[in-house]
């Protein structure tokens, strides 16, 4: 007769789920940052100045996140 162990914890499944969630969050952040940089790059220097940024600031957006 086969026995199924139902007392086993799902630590491995939890770890995999956590890792997958972190990867998804990282990919999502990457694409959001990319879209923000693209939108800012399309602004004029005057518009960037109005919001307190310059062209050099655009590439630094998201690196501290």
Would you list the domain boundaries of the chain? Answer: 16-58
Residue with tokens 């100045």: 49
pLDDT at 8: 59
- In the chain the first and final C-alpha atoms are separated, in Å, by 54
pLDDT at 62: 80
CA distance 33 to 62: 6
Residues 6+ apart with CB under 8 A from 61: 33, 36, 37, 40
pLDDT at 61: 87
pTM summary value: 0.67
> What are the pLDDT tens digits along the chain (65 aa)?
556 666 655 555 688 889 999 999 999 999 999 999 999 999 999 999 999 999 999 999 887 65
């Amino acid at each position: 007769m086969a026995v199924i162990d139902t007392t086993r914890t799902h630590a491995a499944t939890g770890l995999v789920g956590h890792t997958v969630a972190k990867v998804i969050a990282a990919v999502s952040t990457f694409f959001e940052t990319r879209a923000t940089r693209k939108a800012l790059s399309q602004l004029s220097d005057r518009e960037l100045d109005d919001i307190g940024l310059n062209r050099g600031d655009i590439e630094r957006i998201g690196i501290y996140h």
